[in-house]
Amino acid sequence: MSLQPLNTETAESLPPVQRAGRITDTVHEALREAIFAGQLKPGTKLSVPALAKQLGVSRSPVREAVARLAQENLAVEETRRGAVVARIGTADLARLYEIREVLEGLATRLAVEHSGKKLVTELEGILREHRQAIDDHSAAAHTRADMRFHQVIREASGNPGLIELLKGLQAQVRLAMVTTTVTAGPVLALADHHAIFEAIRKADPEAAEQAARAHIARLRHNLEGVAKRT
Amino acid sequence: MSLQPLNTETAESLPPVQRAGRITDTVHEALREAIFAGQLKPGTKLSVPALAKQLGVSRSPVREAVARLAQENLAVEETRRGAVVARIGTADLARLYEIREVLEGLATRLAVEHSGKKLVTELEGILREHRQAIDDHSAAAHTRADMRFHQVIREASGNPGLIELLKGLQAQVRLAMVTTTVTAGPVLALADHHAIFEAIRKADPEAAEQAARAHIARLRHNLEGVAKRT
DNA sequence: AGCGATAAATCTACATGTAGAATTTACATG
DNA sequence: CATGTAAATTCTACATGTAGATTTATCGCT
C-alpha cells in the first residue's frame, strides 16, 4: 500500500517506510500537496478509480479523501459528476480575505492576551528567516516564512476552532496562488509582519489586532485594485 | 431505501415520497436533526453498522455522513475507535462565541453595505414573530426567530464562505444547547436584535457591526460568568 | 470536414465482503 | 464480591462488486 507519486505510471518510488495512520489521511495529504504544487490544477477531474490506481490503493480511502477536499473547498463536487479541483479567482480570494481580516485580527489579539515571551522569541526567528529569504530572492523561502508567521500566531491564540478556520482559509489561499499571481510583494509583507510583531512585543492587544487586520486588508485592497483592471 | 426514524425497531414510517438526492445527504441530515433534537446525545457512539441497520441503508452512506459530522465538529473521531457525538461545554462555547463575535460583526456590516430595503422588511417580520414568541412564552418559536434573524443577515452578506462558517458555528451552538442551558434570556436577545436592526435600518455599517459584536459578546460574557461559578 | 446518432468505456453512488483491532461478555480465581 | 483473563462479539478501515448515469469514442451521413 505504498503510495506512488501522481502522474507516474511506473513502479514504487516512496521509501518502504510504512506511513503510520490511516490510508485515507495519507491520500488526503498527498492530494492536498499535489494541488498546492500545481500538479493537480484547478478544473482537473478527481476521478476516484484513476487516482486509486495511481496511488496503489483501493477506491474507498480515495473517495473519502476527495470528499474531505470538497468540504475544505479545495474541490467542488457535482452530483453524479464527481469532483474537480476548485478554481479560486481573484473575486473569491477577496471574499476570503474579508473573512481572514477579522479572524487574523482576533487570533493576534488573543495571542497577545494569552501568550508570553516564547511567542516573541519564535516570531523574531521567523522574521529573521523572512528577511534572509528576501535578501536571497528566494520566493519559496519567503512563502514558507510568511506562512509560518501566521501559523505561529494563530496557534498561540488558544482557540482550537479559530486555528482550524484559519488553516482552512490559508489552504484556500494557497490554492488560489496556483492560478493568481497577485501579491503586494515580499518586502511589503515583511514590513507588515514587523508592525504586527512590534505590537505583540509591546503586549498591546488592540494594536496587534489592528496591525493584523491592516495587513490582510492591504492584501485585499491590492487584489481588488488588480481585479478591477482585469 | 426509505429511512426509518432512529430509535425505532418497527417498520416504515416516513411517507413513501422518494427523497431526492443522495442517500448520504439524507442520512447526514437525519443524523444532524437527531443530534439537535437530543435523540443522539453528546457522547453517544455513532456505530456505522448499527445506524445503517436502523436507517435501512447500507454502511457506505452512513460512513460518509458520520465523517461529515466529524468535519463539522458535531462528532469526534478517534482512530480505530469510531465517532461519538461531540460534547461542547461552556468553555468550548465561549471559544465559539469569540469567533462568532467577529464573524457576525463582519456579516452584519457587509449586509448593510450590499443590501437594500428587502433586508429591512424581512427583519421587521422576523422581529414581529420574535416579539410574538416571547409574549406566548414559546421557547421553540423564540429559538426559531432568533436563528432566522441571524440567518437572514448572514445570507445578505454576499460572502459564501462567511455564510458557510456562520452556519457551522450555529450548528455547534445548537449542539451545545442540548447540554448547556445558559441563555441571557429571550427578552435581552430581542433587545439586542432590535439594536442591530436599527443600525441596519439606518444603513450605518459601523454601528451595525458594533451592535452585532456587542450582541455575541454579551452572550459570551454571560456564559463566562456562569462557567466561573460552576 | 462537420454533425448527429449510437455504441463503448468510464465513473459515481451505493452495497457488500473481511482482516485485524477494540470492546464486551463470560467465567474463573482469590 | 472484586478482579484478572480468555473467548466471543462488534466495529473500523479498507477492498471489491455493480446498476445506472455520464462521458467519450466511433461511425454513418451529408
Q: What residue segments make up the domains of chain B, in order of their start?
A: 23-85, 90-229
At B22 the pLDDT is: 95
The verdict on a CB contact (< 8 Å) between B99 and A110 is: no
Tell me how far apart the alpha carbons of residues B215 and A223 are, in angstroms, rounded to a whole number.
32
Q: A183 Cβ partners below 8 Å, 6+ apart?
A: A189, A222
pLDDT tens-digit series, residues B75-124: 999 999 999 999 999 999 999 999 999 999 999 999 999 988 999 999 99
Residue B6 clears pLDDT 90, i.e. is over it: no
pLDDT tens-digit series, residues B12-46: 333 323 456 899 999 999 999 999 999 999 999 99
Does domain B90-229 sit in CATH 1.20.120.530?
A: yes
- Locate all alpha helices (DSSP H) within B42-185, ordered by sequence: 48-55, 59-71, 90-114, 117-135, 139-155, 160-179
The nt closest to B1 (CA vs C1′) is C14
Smallest CA–CA distance from B98 into chain A, residue: A106
Q: Is B69 on the interface with A (CB under 8 A)?
A: no
Residue to test with chain B: of A72, A79, A80, A102, most B Cβ within 10 A: A102
At B16 the pLDDT is: 29
DSSP annotation of A14 reads: S
List chain B residues with CB under 8 Å of A159. 95, 98-99
Residue A63 clears pLDDT 80, i.e. is over it: yes
Taken in order B108, A113, B222, B139, is the CA torsion positive or negative? positive
Percent of chain A exceeding pLDDT 70 equals 90
Residue A83's beta-bridge partner residues? A46, A77
Mean pLDDT within A57-84: 97
Cβ of A50 less than 7 A from strand D: no
Nearest CB to B96: which of A73, A96, A161? A161
At A143 the pLDDT is: 95
Q: Is A68 on the interface with B (CB under 8 A)?
A: yes
> Which residue from B170, B163, B118 is spatially nearest to B144, judged by alpha carbons?
B170
- Total beta-carbon pairs less than 8 A apart between chain A and chain B: 60
Q: Is B116 on the interface with A (CB under 8 A)?
A: no
At A230 the pLDDT is: 58
Kindly indicate the confidence band of residue A225, based on its pLDDT and cuts at 50, 70 and 90. confident
Taken in order A131, A132, A136, A139, is the CA torsion positive or negative? negative
Cβ pair A175, A35 in contact under 8 A: yes
Three-state DSSP state, B133: helix
pLDDT tens-digit series, residues B144-190: 999 999 999 999 999 999 999 999 999 999 999 999 988 788 999 99
> A229 or A26: which carries more pLDDT confidence?
A26
Q: Could you give the C-alpha distances from A27 to A24, B67, B135, in angstroms and in order?
A: 5, 16, 55
Report, in ranges, which bases of strand D sit under 7 Å from a protein C-beta: 10-17, 21-23
Residue whose C-alpha cell is 528567516: A129
| Amino acid in the structure at residue A121 | T
Mean pLDDT within A54-79: 97
The verdict on a CB contact (< 8 Å) between B103 and A105 is: no
Q: B152 Cβ partners below 8 Å, 6+ apart?
A: B119, B122, B123, B126
Mean pLDDT within A194-210: 98
Residue whose C-alpha cell is 469532483: A83
**CA nearest to nucleotide D12 C1': residue:** B80
Q: Which CATH architecture has domain B23-85?
A: Orthogonal Bundle (1.10)
Q: A199 Cβ partners below 8 Å, 6+ apart?
A: A108, A112, A207, A208, A210, A211
Closest CA of chain A from B162, distance in Å: 7
